[in-house]
Amino acid sequence: MREATLSASISFFVPCLNEEGNVGRSIDTIVEVMSQLRNPYEILIVDDASHDGTVAEVLHSCRRYPGTRIEIIRNRFCRGLGRNYFIAAHRATNEYFMLVNGDAAEPMESIREILAHVGEADAIVPYFGINETRTIPRKILSATFTHFVNLLSGHRLKYYNGPVLHKTENVWMWFSETAGFGYQAELLCRLLDEGISVREVQISNSDRESGFSKAFTIRNLLSVANTLLHIFLRRLEGVAFRYLKPS
């Protein structure tokens, strides 16, 4: 595995909603990886109106790592993962932008593997396959979602919901119309339609040690359906534009 390009600066987005017991480990993982790579970086934490000890845990991490730029953005009400992603992106000051989940789902070696390919393409898109630890219902839901996104968009990625490494300026170009878990698929489809280059990378994942997954809430399932609808409508618009465009 080659090392990340030393000149590449990274902004990490860490979303949190009641991640006490997890978010501190996510921050530890980022700091450990970047201390080995020595690239410039910052950590942008967005707390989505947690009502446990998440914020206190983040502040403790800030005190533990005084030499690391860690910014915490606190929402007064729950905005959703998709909205928070773009809020953080517009606070990012570095060349590349990457999500690392606040539930400590990404092992150190997975983050390192993604960063090892920085500069090879406009987006480094990870997919699972090594040491897959998700439950069977989550695997089925994920495979179904990926199948429908590929079918409706005409693209052929292996996975759309991972910790994608984007050029920050590409994220600034768009704002997802969904607040839930489908935001990354919508963003990737928009950028692929614009002709960006992609490098797919296989990584491993791990189960959360505290709390429970928020992927199966009614709100997120409705949001995913909304994402699929928008992807399909944009493809229809593209087809209509090409058909009606004067030759």
**Range from 44-48, 150-154, 179-183 carrying the lowest mean pLDDT:** 179-183
Q: What is the pLDDT of residue 243?
A: 63
Task: For residues 130-157, give the mean pLDDT.
Answer: 88
Per the CB < 8 A criterion, the answer to whether 104 and 204 are in contact is: no
Task: Report yes or no on 231 lying in a domain.
Answer: yes
3-state secondary structure of 166: strand
Per the CB < 8 A criterion, the answer to whether 13 and 40 are in contact is: no
Nearest to 72 by CA among 53, 91, 98, 95: 91
Task: Report yes or no on 2 lying in a domain.
Answer: no
Task: Report yes or no on 64 lying in a domain.
Answer: yes
Task: Report yes or no on 1 lying in a domain.
Answer: no
Task: Report yes or no on 16 lying in a domain.
Answer: yes
Task: Report yes or no on 5 lying in a domain.
Answer: no
Task: Report yes or no on 118 lying in a domain.
Answer: yes
Task: Report yes or no on 91 lying in a domain.
Answer: yes
- 222 is written with which tokens? 């409705």
Q: Is the pLDDT of residue 165 over 90?
A: yes
5-64: pLDDT as tens digits: 668 999 999 999 999 999 999 999 999 999 999 899 999 999 999 999 999 999 999 999
| Count: domains in the chain | 1
Q: Is the pLDDT of residue 207 over 90?
A: no
Whose tokens are 């489809």? That residue is 189
Report pTM: 0.89
CATH number at residue 185: 3.90.550.10
Q: What is the pLDDT of residue 224?
A: 85
Domain that holds residue 95: 10-244
Nearest to 103 by CA among 138, 69, 130: 138
Q: Is the pLDDT of residue 148 over 70?
A: yes
Burial class (CB in 10 A: 0-12, 13-18, 19+), 233: exposed
